[in-house]
Amino acid sequence: MSLPKINPTTTKAWNQLESHFNKIKEVRMQDLFIEDASRADFFTLEWQDFYLDYSKNRISKETVDLLLKLAEEVKLKEAIASQFTGERINQTEDRAVLHGALRDFDHMKPEVKEALGQMQDFSKTIINGSWKGYSGKEIKTIVNIGIGGSDLGPDMVTEALSYYKNHLNVQYISNVDGDHVNEVLKKLDRETTLFIIVSKTFTTQETLTNANTVRKWFLEHASETDIAKHFAAVSTNLEAVSGFGIATENIFPMWDWVGGRFSLWSAVGLSTCCAVGYDNFEQLLKGANEMDKHFKDTDFSENMPVILAMLSVWYNNFFKAETEAVIPYSQYLSKLVPYLQQAIMESNGKSVDRNEDPIDYETGTIVWGSTGTNAQHAFFQLLHQGTKIIPTDFIGFSESLYGNQDHQNKLMANFLAQTEALLQGTEGTEVATNFRKFQGNKPTNTLLIKKLTPHSLGSLIALYEHKLFVQGIVWNIFSYDQWGVELGKKIGLTTLEAIESDGNTKNASTNNLLKKISM
Ligand code: F6P
């Protein structure tokens, strides 16, 4: 069975949403709160340590009913079942999509269990110092070399879990920018550094170039046989990894049923596992698995990923919002947005539907943002007084990790005040000039989580994974391929040839630029 292929704009619910939108588009949330005293209680969801308040949205009960009807009509239920039962729903690559299986401890695939065991043993010996480098010293630094999903997920999680980190110094090299690689290398000690090369395909230009540069640097003072003590790899391409000279016991598996941007739960997360230890890594997986169960088994009206996804569809397709923002009120989550940008925009940036027809409605949301409170002093001006509608997710934690209550109170005060200001504007207060006027009526979701732990972080990431999947189903696109990155890669290769041979490309503008580069 393949995914349903329903053009959402042909459904009854879409039609009804269009007329409903015409009624609601001028309605102000300020009035909705006055009219209905139960609004704040009604539009909330509680699940484990998560509390989602979505009352500050430009919606009524009817909006939510219609959005959920749309989800039914596009056969979301069937699509969720297809994903979790391992049907080959990534049709254009003929693959199943089973990142959920990487964290399903109740029904764990033997190969996943084995890989987790391998990760546990490996990380343990690195952390406890029994793994020795070529000169007999313990490993102090781990460097992950990868890009895209082989970098963003592990980097984001390692940063997010800094509080739970051990003594290891964990770093990430992704860009093919040689200056950055040199900056990293100049601070490293060969004798105490271990490199993990992560590439699902092991063909990615950036990763292979960086890995070769690092290998050469390593061999300036060490021998080929020392590579086994300082290099590990994660890939599906075992042949290419062996060709690189990595010892068989240091090779960790990947599977074609795990997309790169959903792979942090696999051995791609090995650097994280070393940084925080296997037990914390397992908690991360368990938290994600709890969210999987919630997503699979909960009625749409109580289903957090479904509600968030459908609200986003509402703004994207009816209000024609151009972007949406994510603002975590935790500096630990400073890398969440770049991670989400790949997950969401690589998945849903599509303009051909599942019938292979061109699409005439909006798909993939543009996601951006940064941490609060910093963002308040940067781009919040535009959220408050700009002309654009930018639905924003506010993510906060009710407990801080170090327990500094003074800071935490101020952080939370800002977190709450901003959504209220965005909603309320200067309504009811005298303002001296129009310059000082805030219209309010700006939509936000507030996701309040008890505490940042490996478990809650796992659930949070999985929440966004499922949200983007729901949106892909509604938009009738294939979320799990990424053909859009191929053309640039291909032209990149011929452009490199042109640079190396003083040749030309097909385009006059590029040729002028090439001449400037070689001058
Ligand atoms: O070019 C995009 C992409 O294919 C991503 O989807 C992927 O995460 C990244 O490149 C890295 O790929 P690999 O792990 O095969 O090196």
Q: Each residue of 129-162: pLDDT tens digit? A: 999 999 999 999 999 999 999 999 999 999 999 9
Strand pairing report for 392-397 and 323-328: parallel
Cα R_g (the chain), whole angstroms: 24
For residue 367, tell me if it sits in a domain: yes
Do 125 and 199 belong to one domain? Answer: yes
For residue 281, tell me if it sits in a domain: no
Single out the residue in 276, 299, 322 at which a domain terminates. Answer: 276
For residue 291, tell me if it sits in a domain: yes
Name which residue leads in pLDDT, 321 or 238. Answer: 321
Q: Looking at residues 460-485, what average pLDDT do you find? A: 98
Peptide bond before residue 373 is cis, with ω within 30 degrees of 0: yes
Do 473 and 344 belong to one domain? Answer: yes
Do 172 and 300 belong to one domain? Answer: no
Look at ligand 1, atom 13, and give the residue with the nearest C-alpha.
199
Exposure string for 248-285, b = 16+ CB within 10 A, e = fewer: eebbbbbbebbbbbbbbbbbbbbbbbbbbbbebbbbbb
Ligand 1 mean position, distance from CA 252 (Å):
17
Cβ atoms within 10 Å of 138's Cβ, excluding its own? 17
Ligand 1 mean position, distance from CA 147 (Å):
6
Q: Counting atoms of ligand 1 from 1, which one is nearest the CA of 201?
A: 15
Single out the residue in 231, 256, 276 at which a domain terminates. Answer: 276
Do 211 and 162 belong to one domain? Answer: yes
Do 441 and 334 belong to one domain? Answer: yes
For residue 191, tell me if it sits in a domain: yes
1 pLDDT above the threshold of 70: no
Q: Which of 115, 464, 480, 486 is nearest to 268 (CA)?
A: 115
Q: Looking at residues 375-385, what average pLDDT do you find? A: 98
For residue 35, the enclosing domain spans 8-95+287-428+435-481
For residue 1, tell me if it sits in a domain: no
Do 55 and 191 belong to one domain? Answer: no
Kindly report, residue by residue over 183-218, the tens digit of the pLDDT. Answer: 999 999 999 999 999 999 999 999 999 999 999 999
Look at ligand 1, atom 16, and give the residue with the nearest C-alpha.
199
The CA-CA-CA angle for residues 272, 273, 279, to 5°, reads 130
Pocket test for ligand 1, best of 152, 201, 339, 347 (most atoms within 8 A of CB): 201
Ligand 1 mean position, distance from CA 484 (Å):
12
Distance from chain centroid for Cα 370: 13
Whether 377 sits among the annotated catalytic residues: the reply is: yes
Confidence at 89, pLDDT banded by 50, 70, 90: very high
Ligand 1 mean position, distance from CA 267 (Å):
15
Q: Looking at residues 450-459, what average pLDDT do you find? A: 98
Residue 191's CATH number: 3.40.50.10490
Single out the residue in 255, 276, 297 at which a domain terminates. Answer: 276
Ligand 1 mean position, distance from CA 161 (Å):
24
Q: Looking at residues 101-106, what average pLDDT do you find? A: 98
Cα distance between residue 426 and residue 259, in whole Å: 46
- pLDDT for position 108: 97
Q: Counting atoms of ligand 1 from 1, which one is nearest the CA of 489?
A: 1
Look at ligand 1, atom 9, and give the residue with the nearest C-alpha.
148
Catalytic residue among 377, 430, 500, 516: 377
For residue 259, tell me if it sits in a domain: yes
Do 466 and 510 belong to one domain? Answer: no
Look at ligand 1, atom 10, and give the residue with the nearest C-alpha.
148
For residue 3, tell me if it sits in a domain: no
Catalytic residue among 206, 346, 466, 467: 346
Whether 346 sits among the annotated catalytic residues: the reply is: yes
Q: What percent of the chain has pLDDT over 90?
A: 97
Ligand 1 first shell, C-beta below 6 A? 147-150, 199-201, 204, 207, 260-261, 346, 482, 485
- pLDDT for position 427: 85
Q: Looking at residues 44-69, what average pLDDT do you find? A: 98
Do 239 and 185 belong to one domain? Answer: yes
For residue 243, tell me if it sits in a domain: yes
43 pLDDT above the threshold of 70: yes
Do 133 and 248 belong to one domain? Answer: yes
Do 422 and 316 belong to one domain? Answer: yes
For the chain, the domain total comes to 3
The position carrying tokens 């209680």 is 41
Do 458 and 313 belong to one domain? Answer: yes
- pLDDT for position 129: 98
Whether 489 sits among the annotated catalytic residues: the reply is: yes
Do 266 and 330 belong to one domain? Answer: no
Ligand 1 mean position, distance from CA 206 (Å):
10
Kindly report, residue by residue over 169-184, the tens digit of the pLDDT. Answer: 999 999 999 999 999 9
90 pLDDT above the threshold of 80: yes
Catalytic residue among 12, 388, 410, 489: 489
